[in-house]
């Protein structure tokens, strides 16, 4: 494993990037601010190594980052209705940053924090372990939460993310990563041209504020059906109420099976990504509201340039008794794992590890 560390100074902030690379030339560049994935370099079927996540041109742009490129989100990912919840008969009022709701943990969520980190390396893998202590009542959440996010790159071209947490008072915890994937390489093509399969029979209906109503909808005969691999853009702009409410895909899908729940494929480059997670759901977001971000390779972020797979508990779970509520109690160990495995397919369809 190859390790490289770099330091940047932006205003009063010290930004540090850590790059780990395996023998297959797959590499991940991480940033201490937001425990963020900055770049993910992956070979195509011909051995060309290119970036498969959206990346800012300037490292200092991660201080603002309105689209949350690559960041760790917490304490809770997704929206919480009316920015409030009740825990043990006590009402907690949260910072509201999505209209009347809270989104992704508030204005100063985990993506806007400098995380401590350490590096562990051995013969077959390297791990960067990030740590952040969220103080009691930060953004309105009770308890001091010790959060840890570990990124491990293996020689089998797997990027493993482990989310952990401990608290000294009952609280909420629902962590995720918010990387935008595009397997074409250096995002030369829209993700609408790439293919996706999701092991899911149901998704959550959203109201006009993009809060789950509590109703599970069967994907059958809807544009939300990815049980068989299909082009992401095939049904993306169909006249369907749920798509109109979010201007594209931005919904929680309930996951089936224990592993390999998601597959994404770019047939032209041959890159294939398989996602396995211990979380019960994934929010799939098709970059419906770009903010004109100045991206690497001289590009400006535009609609459908990338797609997020935000593995997590169901958003707003605390306000729905039949959802996973995301409650973490004293003495409990919050732990979830999401693994991204990269391979390539030959033009005839055979899958190989580059």
Query: What residues are designated binding site for beta-D-galactose?
Result: 178-180, 250
Find out whether 152 and 281 touch, Cβ atoms under 8 Å. no
Residue written as token pair 């806007």: 112
Residue written as token pair 């098709």: 286
What's phi and psi for 225, nearest 5 deg?
Answer: -85, 110
| Separation between Cα atoms, residue 222 and residue 254, nearest integer Å | 15
| Separation between Cα atoms, residue 151 and residue 225, nearest integer Å | 31
Residue 328, judged by CB atoms within 10 A of its CB (0-12, 13-18, 19+), counts as buried
| Separation between Cα atoms, residue 310 and residue 338, nearest integer Å | 10
Total residue count of the chain as it appears in this document = 354
Strand pairing of 195-198 and 27-31?
A: unpaired
What's phi and psi for 5, nearest 5 deg?
Answer: -125, 140
The one catalytic residue in 39, 139, 158, 178 is 178
Give yes or no: 178 in active site.
Answer: yes
DSSP track, 17-44: EEEEE-TTS-EEEEETBTTEEEEEEEE-
Give me 57's structure tokens: 């041109």
The one catalytic residue in 21, 164, 310, 314 is 310
Find out whether 143 and 47 touch, Cβ atoms under 8 Å. no
**Secondary structure element (H or E) that encloses residue 244, with its range:** helix 241-246
The DSSP bridge partners found for residue 164 are 148, 335
Give yes or no: 310 in active site.
Answer: yes
| Separation between Cα atoms, residue 151 and residue 112, nearest integer Å | 19
DSSP state of 349: S
Which amino acids are annotated catalytic?
A: 178, 310
């Amino acid at each position: 494993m190859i390790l490289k560390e770099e330091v940047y100074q932006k205003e009063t902030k010290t930004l540090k990037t850590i790059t780990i690379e395996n023998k297959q030339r797959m590499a991940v560049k991480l940033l201490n601010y937001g425990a963020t994935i900055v770049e993910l370099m992956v070979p195509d079927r011909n051995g060309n190594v290119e970036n498969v996540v959206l990346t800012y041109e300037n490292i200092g742009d991660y201080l603002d980052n309105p689209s949350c490129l690559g960041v760790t989100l917490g304490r809770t990912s997704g929206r919480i209705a009316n920015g409030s919840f009740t825990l043990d008969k006590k009402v907690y009022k949260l910072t509201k940053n999505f209209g009347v709701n809270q989104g992704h943990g508030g204005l100063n969520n985990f993506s806007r924090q400098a995380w401590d980190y350490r590096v562990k390396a051995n013969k077959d893998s390297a791990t960067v372990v990030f740590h952040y202590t969220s103080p009691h009542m930060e953004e309105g959440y009770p308890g001091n939460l010790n959060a840890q996010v570990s990124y491990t790159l293996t020689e089998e071209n797997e990027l493993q993310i482990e989310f952990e947490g401990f608290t000294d008072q009952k609280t909420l915890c629902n962590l995720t990563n918010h990387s935008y994937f595009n397997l074409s390489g250096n995002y030369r093509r829209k993700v609408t041209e790439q293919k996706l399969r999701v092991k899911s029979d149901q998704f959550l209906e959203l109201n006009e504020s993009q809060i789950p109503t509590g109703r599970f909808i069967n994907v059958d005969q809807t544009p939300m059906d990815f049980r068989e691999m299909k082009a992401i853009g095939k049904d993306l702009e169909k006249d369907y109420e749920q798509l109109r409410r979010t201007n594209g895909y931005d919904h929680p899908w309930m996951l089936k099976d224990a592993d390999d729940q998601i597959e994404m494929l770019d047939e032209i480059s041959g890159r294939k990504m398989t996602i396995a997670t211990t979380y019960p759901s994934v929010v799939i977001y098709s970059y419906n509201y770009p903010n004109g971000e100045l991206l690497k390779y001289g590009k400006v972020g535009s609609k459908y340039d990338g797609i997020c797979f935000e593995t997590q508990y169901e958003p707003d779970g605390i306000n729905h008794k039949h959802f996973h509520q995301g409650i973490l109690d004293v003495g409990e160990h919050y732990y979830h794992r999401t693994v991204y495995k990269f391979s390539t397919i030959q033009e005839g369809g055979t899958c190989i590890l580059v």
